[in-house]
Structure 1
Amino acid sequence: MSNPVYGKQAKRSSNVDKKPALLLVLIVAIIAYLVWTPFQVALFNGQNLEFEKPLFWAIALGSVLLFLWIANYYKSFKLDEQRDWLPLAVLLLPITYLLSYFGAASHYLAMNMVLIECLYAIMFIISIYLLQDQRANKIIQTTIMTVAYIIVWFGFLNWFGHGKFAGTLVVWFSNAVLHGKYTDAVMTDSNGLRLTSVFQYANTYAAFLMAFLFAAVFCLIRSKKWYGQAFHAFMLVPIIVSILLTLSRGGLVMLPVVFVLLLLFLKPAKQILWVVYCAIAGIASLAISKEVTDLGLQLNQKFEAGGAVKGWAFLLITSAVVAIIGWVVQAFLAPKMEQGLAKASAKKHANLWIPVGSVIAVGVVAFLLIGTSVRNVLPQNISTRLENINFNQHSVLERITFYKDGMKVVKDYPLLGAGGGAWAALYEKYQNNPYTSRQAHNFFVQYLLEVGIVGFVIFMAFVLFIFYKYIRGYIQSDAERKDSYFLYLILTLSILIHSILDFNMSYVFIGMLVFIGLGGMAAAMDSKPLKRVAWKTDSAGWIYSLAVGICGIIVLITSVRFVHASNAGLEAKKIAQTSTSYEEIKTALDKDLKIRHNHPDSVLLMSSLYQSVYKQTQNDDFYNAANSLLTDALKKEPYNKSMINRLITNYQLKNENDKAYEILVANAPKFNWDIEWYEQMITQGFELGYTALGQGDTAAKEKYFKSGIAAFEKVQAGLKHLATLPKEQMAGRPFSNSPIMILDTGKMYYMMNQLDKATETLKMGVTQDFSDPTNRETTRWYIAALMKQGSNDQAVYDQLVKADPSEKESIEKLVQINF
């Protein structure tokens, strides 16, 4: 039974036909855009000058696409049914980010995120209208699948050692090519080499592959032409092998979850076909995984043409065999299967049996691959990753920690959030242990802390409403209509489900796919007509187009200005690498800072320039200029550690060490697990206190010594906390007592006549290496503290004096001093 809503939808499509030229231009522009973006738009991870320029270009081009949409669709916008309000509702998403901008932890990151959300809104608005036209819908789906397949083959070019060739293919429009190769298309971490293709991060590539594995199976079954069936079947093995090569545990865990959820939308015959195709391709992929993995590992160390040919042969021949099997099954067995299961499909809950069986089958396979020696048929690196899948594994424990720490941010910024990029700016303040992660590894947690409860509720209501209405429309529509838009559900559901475990949505290209997917789902949703509202809606198209067009102009102008600013910043950075000319560097930086007053990279470079000139000339104008620049920038970027350190350095250049120390202490709570920060507080606290002691300023001595000791005690509390972490969880960055911290803290206790604490602290730093000057000094103060209390550590004393006889006199003098 067809949905009555679709009659109105078809009528609206006739508005498109009146402007075929504009429609064609819009479609061609979107195709070019979708091909360009994955190689250009990198991870939004607190971008610096090298990565932000393509982001701003993408946003500017997105605005141009919006203007093309307005030219073609301004008359089509109505307020007659539920779907018509979604282009209005999507504007609330960038608005919530704009509201969070005013109280953002980083105004620079927050503004970038406002622009990115504008881009997502643009892609949704275009998609919800464009994809109602069936011709445009088919073209866009074909483009999306083509781009995905290109990305898969691009990954294999790099895996089989053809990195230089792959680089030449994209160097003319990608800034990620360095020394002739696409950066980190094959990345290296503690697990070894991992395939990432254009994403430079294996887990997100796994999420992408998971989505397009199911998309390929869907396209294979849907295709009416033999070559379409064979081609999509051919791609199954490369996609599954790529998933294995990412070594992504999250991808392997979420893949069966999404698979079962998608099966629930299908009739039994198609469910069986999905299972059959995935099983055939999966078995074939496992059969060649060891050879493809080993060859790739070798070829990335040293390229050999013979090895590359062998690798391609394994992959292509196996893919061809699966393609032939897929075509045979689809051409001869699938029609008979659908006929034979027609009666069974009509029964109530018929579509539940195979998903339930799939859950059991997945459980059995998971047990065999994770809990038994069956996994040894896989390559060693993949087998090891599977063996480590458990809830006590360090990456699981770390993610749980991220989520808990994210909730701490939400507690402090509950309503409107801490702004775009808040996690990257704030995580060091809220972290439970000294990990390094500029992403929360959960899109929903990250979204919540960025825009607060208000923005999160709006976003979830928007997404869930589209899912709900799409599913209702899917149930009521005929088979052809279901197939027309099911691809968008596959992509959106797959990526969002996987984003529970990772930061896929921090990739702008991935975010665009999701919002195009939401637009496609909205185009097919069960959209009920609304009762005629009190106000007249005939002019709604003009009003909406005008409002959105004005916003688009603002976004376009802003993004183009930011492109120019980025160019200036990059030019300054390039000049600074080859020239010492103050005027040349400053002229370029002024162009950037005139547009973006608080851009971190340019602020740091400009302040460094001022400081360099000040050191040469001792002209206070340059010192004051650096101080003013950094102070103003920190009002907008209060958590930028590099700028805070640069301000501290600026005070130290003028020997204003007391002011430098005040900045150090005031900002310590922002970096609770930075051991270097604590070390500076302790050593500088001692030096300033000792200077004050020499000047007879007892109050200042007490102030600085207490501050330094407080820092040391916080380190000890931190060490006790780290000891409580599960043994499987990695603590993160090094966090431990350094010899100089122990020595200076011991001295401060000693000079404050807290001899018992001095003894306890200094003993921590005593070692057997008396050739080390720091150890000898620590031991000297340790023995002196004991002697002051009428005690001694004779064995240590004898070793010290034996190593350096002069230490005996030094200890005696130290004991006689009264502080």
Structure 2
Amino acid sequence: MSKPVYGKNAAQSRNVEKISGSVWALCAAFILFLCWTPFQVGLFNGQQMDFEKPLYISALLSGLMLLAWVVLYYKKFKLDEQQDLVAAATLLLPLTYALSLFVAVSHYMAMNMLFIQSMYAAVFIIAFYLLKQKQLNVVIQNAVLAISYFIIWFGLLNWLGGSKFAASLVGWFSNTVRNDKYLDAVMTDSNGLRLTSIFQYANTYAAFGMAFLFVAVFALIRSRKWYGTLTHGFMLVPIIVSILLTLSRGGLVLLPVVFILLLLFLKPAQQILWIVHLGIAGIASLVIANPITTLGTELNTAFTSLAALKGWAYLLGASAVVAVLGWIIQRYAAPWLEQKTGAWGARKLTGLWIPLGSVVMVAIVAFLFIGTSAKNILPANIGTRLENINFRQHSVLERITFYKDAIKVVKDYPILGTGGGGWASLFEKYENNPYTVLQVHNFFLQYMIEVGIVGFVLFMGFILYIFYKYTRGYLKRDKNEFENGFFYLIIALSILVHSLLDFNMSYAFMGILVFLGLAGMAAVMESKPLRRSWNKTGIRLGYYGVLTVSTLFMLFLSISYIGSSSEALKGKSLVPVSTSYEEIKAPFAAALKDRPSHPESVLYVTSLNYQVFNQTQDEKFLAESYSLLTRALKDEPYNKNLLTQLVNYYDLKGDKPAALAVFVDNADKFVWDIKWYDGLITRAAALGQEAHVQKDDAKEKDYFSKGLAAYNGVIAGIEHIKTLPPEQLQGRAFSVTPTIALSAGKIQYMSGQKDEAAATLNLGLGTDYPDLVNSGTPWSTEWYAALISRSFELGQAAYSQGNQDGKALHFTTGLTAYNQVVADQGQTINATPSTVLNVGKMQLMSGQNKPAATTLKQALTADYNDVVNREIARYYLAALIKAGEEDQTVYNALIAVDPAEAEQINALASTQFQQ
């Protein structure tokens, strides 16, 4: 390949360069890839089976394109320039992720990130060599602009009532369309409706909008054709309105920061034009922001043609006005401005004055919209978001907490990191308070967590070298020679700056845009010739060999993963519609053949095996589940769902101490999960009671000490939460639950700590059971009976209101109380048949069919003329049917008294109590 040419004849040199049809075909494939990925590869959190297959397909496509590049450039490739070495160095980035596999805390998520990083490397290498040719550069720029503009209009279609039409445009190839709507193109949270377009996350869409707002301004000013000027000018208002509709505080804060950074690269005339065009578009956008917000809110509640027409009229009208004004400015004012500022712009440091002035202007505007009544011209929701921008705001405080916790992870995994997806696996171990955040909200910190300091230094060296060499060359040469590079600088800089506060790069498409931007900058950066020794045949062939072998390896791996993912998805689709164990299991077994530790497949197969075991009592199903779980947990030791399934295995085996050991051994991984504490404390109390009855003092002391240690951890956590700033949200609920109170209180009572037991009961039961807490006779059989009846009443009321969580909370409380009574010295509950009936109902409605049948049968009498006894029999028979059993004797006796019971039994047996 000939050396890049800079200076006067650079453009001419590229123009005369002949581009083969094969290279054009590669360029076309690359553009199609860019069109496909935004609607296929969404947020990467490594835990959703539905989103993994598009990732593997994308990795396959990028690998195939890279192989095509290897074939096309084999004879022409040389390591002549520093920029060629940068392209070669790209391979180090996925290599760091490959190395982190050896220490990965989640093999599944680490492999997925390796696919993503390999895809980024392929995108960079392909784009780098394509963009060095002007014709292809122009084509790719126009394609990127077209894709970005489509995404903007796609989002506004969803906002202004055209969600079905928008979905029809992409539904034929996108996996994110549900019920004729693109999933969460408009999302709802505590702030109201927020526009997300294809991203399903408003802040990332704001970062995308910010990048392409500046790209549109750049394209507008650069355009020499009237239709180009009008097109790009027309897009300014839709983009600004879209950014406003995201309600992203981070976007609004960082937009002026990126704007000022970009001004530093421009001549004074261009700086003024940028400010004028954005000022006009910004004013027009603010004028229509209120009606667009109001109409969009109405249209997303109930569609009306009149509201939709009004919304589009405001938007298109304002866009047209701004486009025409933009054309007039470029046609008449821009040449005059260039002439007047030419001499001024030639002086050193003159390019700094306008950016510095812009800082002052931004500060004034911010003060007006945040500190004065000027914010009233904004829609109320946007005004509120702006008003809340401060360093004591909860999202700021939470991010600071995430960052501090992220540093803790880095300290424990400093060299090679945790592997891809490490934060999502580990955050519950390191978090300061009980939040649930699968992303650090800072791309650079998250990158360091995943690949350690070694990988982070390589990555930062890579991008900073490109930025440095590009900027150095930009300042030394005629800036017009670097317009193409500036197009890509805008994209990369905007997204990376915004990624300081958010997880934009966890969206594969955003990562592709960044690496495309870096490639575009590298293609025109200042580049010195390398020593001839770099261009030796051995080095060139070695690089090509490594590139080819690694690409082929990832291709075969992606094909294997695509097949495995397809089988897993097939199995998942069969679960709700098939009753055949063999039919459902077959695709999961095929999926696990290639990926034996695939978490979701393991969970599905073990759940199936447990169901069959309950019906057949065949131990081989439990043995298979144990084998699958222990194999998977070697690669996924922090996967809570797999650990919970292991607990279920021990429960089915009747090995209660082993089940408790899973909770105890893994408690440090989930330090703020109140459910984990609940399970640990409840099981420790139950086993301690058993040991007490058996007069095994050593075991009783051991179990009780484990339960109390966990309870003290809960109390310490509650006290720590009180130290959080009042503006910061604590995250998930973390308090003494009724079952924790019953279990910990029972341990304290049996350990002679009666006052402590009373205080514990008050903490967990004082809200819903105040009379029982203060009854003066806790732990007596009568007290338990009253608690059980009250629990049933509260749970039944919650169930009737559709509150499944409330139902589960109260039913679990009642059943825990029942189990404690039964465990006390082996005695059975001394209560009325109605109370026993309530216990059976709670068990049945909690999915405990066999225990429900056992409980209810104990209360049955031969008197079927008694109304309560008939109801006990009815629920007993329904529980048996749900468990796959029957009792013909009881059934015949009941039907003989009241034939109508048959219909009621069937109705109960077919009721789905759990949703």
TM-score normalized by structure 1?
A: 0.93
**How far, CA to CA, are the matches of 1:699 and 1:759 in structure 2?**
25
Partner of 2:289: 289
**How far, CA to CA, are the matches of 1:564 and 1:531 in structure 2?**
46
**How far, CA to CA, are the matches of 1:229 and 1:395 in structure 2?**
39
> Does the alignment pair 1:280 with 2:283?
no
Q: How does 1:264-663 map to 2 (within 5 A)?
A: 264-533=264-533, 537-538=536-537, 540-663=539-662
> Does the alignment pair 1:707 with 2:706?
yes
**Residues 106, 635 of structure 2: 8 Å contact kept:** yes
> Equivalent residue of 2:576, what SS?
helix
- Displacement of 1:600: 1.0
**Residues 572, 588 of structure 1: 8 Å contact kept:** yes
**How far, CA to CA, are the matches of 1:77 and 1:10 in structure 2?**
21
Amino acid at match of 1:100: S
> Equivalent residue of 1:347, what SS?
coil
Structure 2: gaps of 5 or more residues:
784-820, 828-915
How big is each residue's C-alpha offset from its partner over 1:723-747, in whole Å with a ceiling of 9 and x where there is no partner?
Answer: 0000000000000111221222122
Distance of aligned partners of 1:316 and 1:775 in 2 relative to their CA distance in 1, 3 Å threshold: farther
Amino acid at match of 2:632: A
Q: How does 1:73-84 map to 2 (within 5 A)?
A: 73-84=73-84
How big is each residue's C-alpha offset from its partner over 1:119-172, in whole Å with a ceiling of 9 and x where there is no partner?
Answer: 000011111111110000000010001100000000011001111111111111
- Displacement of 1:774: 7.4
Return 8-17 or 159-168, whichever deviates more.
8-17
Distance of aligned partners of 1:411 and 1:331 in 2 relative to their CA distance in 1, 3 Å threshold: same
Partner of 1:801: none
Partner of 1:747: 746
**Residues 421, 450 of structure 2: 8 Å contact kept:** yes
- Displacement of 1:530: 2.2
- Displacement of 1:751: 1.4
How big is each residue's C-alpha offset from its partner over 1:733-769, in whole Å with a ceiling of 9 and x where there is no partner?
Answer: 0001112212221221221223453344344356486
> Equivalent residue of 1:193, what SS?
strand
How big is each residue's C-alpha offset from its partner over 1:163-222, in whole Å with a ceiling of 9 and x where there is no partner?
Answer: 111111111110000011100000111111100000010000000000000000000000
**Residues 123, 515 of structure 1: 8 Å contact kept:** yes
Partner of 2:32: 32
- Displacement of 1:12: 9.6
**How far, CA to CA, are the matches of 2:270 and 2:96 in structure 1?**
41
**Residues 740, 764 of structure 2: 8 Å contact kept:** no
Partner of 1:106: 106
- Displacement of 1:475: 1.6
Amino acid at match of 2:125: I
Q: How does 1:706-785 map to 2 (within 5 A)?
A: 706-765=705-764, 767=766, 779=778
**How far, CA to CA, are the matches of 1:346 and 1:778 in structure 2?**
91
**How far, CA to CA, are the matches of 2:119 and 2:553 in structure 1?**
12
Return 547-556 or 629-638, whichever deviates more.
547-556
- Displacement of 1:107: 0.3
**How far, CA to CA, are the matches of 2:224 and 2:318 in structure 1?**
23
**How far, CA to CA, are the matches of 1:395 and 1:194 in structure 2?**
17
Amino acid at match of 1:557: F
Return 265-274 or 28-37, whichever deviates more.
28-37
Amino acid at match of 1:23: V
Amino acid at match of 1:660: A
How big is each residue's C-alpha offset from its partner over 1:493-543, in whole Å with a ceiling of 9 and x where there is no partner?
Answer: 00000000000000000000100111110001100112332x752465444
**Residues 195, 246 of structure 1: 8 Å contact kept:** yes
**Residues 15, 76 of structure 1: 8 Å contact kept:** no
- Displacement of 1:403: 0.5
Amino acid at match of 2:30: I
Partner of 1:788: none
Amino acid at match of 1:217: V
> Equivalent residue of 2:194, what SS?
strand
How big is each residue's C-alpha offset from its partner over 1:763-814, in whole Å with a ceiling of 9 and x where there is no partner?
Answer: 4356486687677598457999xxxxxxxxxxxxxxxxxxxxxxxxxx9xx9
**Residues 40, 54 of structure 2: 8 Å contact kept:** yes
- Displacement of 1:8: 11
**Residues 11, 134 of structure 2: 8 Å contact kept:** no
**How far, CA to CA, are the matches of 1:577 and 1:283 in structure 2?**
53
How big is each residue's C-alpha offset from its partner over 1:632-670, in whole Å with a ceiling of 9 and x where there is no partner?
Answer: 101100011111001101110121111000001111111
**How far, CA to CA, are the matches of 1:670 and 1:553 in structure 2?**
38
**Residues 762, 770 of structure 2: 8 Å contact kept:** no
> Equivalent residue of 1:102, what SS?
helix
- Displacement of 1:24: 1.0
**Residues 762, 773 of structure 2: 8 Å contact kept:** no
> Equivalent residue of 1:194, what SS?
strand
Return 289-298 or 547-556, whichever deviates more.
547-556
TM-score normalized by structure 2?
A: 0.83
Partner of 2:831: none
- Displacement of 1:271: 0.2
Return 242-251 or 29-38, whichever deviates more.
29-38
Structure 1: gaps of 5 or more residues:
785-810
Return 762-771 or 458-467, whichever deviates more.
762-771
Amino acid at match of 2:664: V
**Residues 260, 358 of structure 1: 8 Å contact kept:** yes
**Residues 416, 452 of structure 1: 8 Å contact kept:** yes
> Equivalent residue of 1:673, what SS?
coil
Partner of 1:206: 206
Amino acid at match of 1:26: L
**How far, CA to CA, are the matches of 2:36 and 2:137 in structure 1?**
19
- Displacement of 1:438: 0.5
Return 672-681 or 81-90, whichever deviates more.
81-90
How big is each residue's C-alpha offset from its partner over 1:532-580, in whole Å with a ceiling of 9 and x where there is no partner?
Answer: 32x7524654443332122111111111211111110011011111012
How big is each residue's C-alpha offset from its partner over 1:256-313, in whole Å with a ceiling of 9 and x where there is no partner?
Answer: 0000000000010000000000100000000000000000000000000111011000
- Displacement of 1:36: 1.0
Q: How does 1:91-170 map to 2 (within 5 A)?
A: 91-170=91-170
Distance of aligned partners of 1:323 and 1:623 in 2 relative to their CA distance in 1, 3 Å threshold: same
- Displacement of 1:70: 1.5
**How far, CA to CA, are the matches of 1:124 and 1:421 in structure 2?**
22
Q: How does 1:39-54 map to 2 (within 5 A)?
A: 39-54=39-54
**How far, CA to CA, are the matches of 1:371 and 1:453 in structure 2?**
42
> Equivalent residue of 2:532, what SS?
coil
**How far, CA to CA, are the matches of 1:551 and 1:9 in structure 2?**
35
Distance of aligned partners of 1:10 and 1:153 in 2 relative to their CA distance in 1, 3 Å threshold: closer
Amino acid at match of 1:663: V
- Displacement of 1:7: 9.2
Partner of 1:244: 244
**How far, CA to CA, are the matches of 2:9 and 2:232 in structure 1?**
33
Distance of aligned partners of 1:722 and 1:776 in 2 relative to their CA distance in 1, 3 Å threshold: same
- Displacement of 1:370: 0.9
> Equivalent residue of 1:578, what SS?
coil
Distance of aligned partners of 1:696 and 1:318 in 2 relative to their CA distance in 1, 3 Å threshold: same
Say what the alpha-carbon RMSD is for the aligned residues: 2.3
Counting aligned pairs with the same residue, the percent is 54
- Displacement of 1:87: 1.9
**How far, CA to CA, are the matches of 2:438 and 2:208 in structure 1?**
21
Partner of 2:873: none
**How far, CA to CA, are the matches of 2:229 and 2:9 in structure 1?**
33
> Equivalent residue of 1:660, what SS?
helix
Return 775-784 or 266-275, whichever deviates more.
775-784
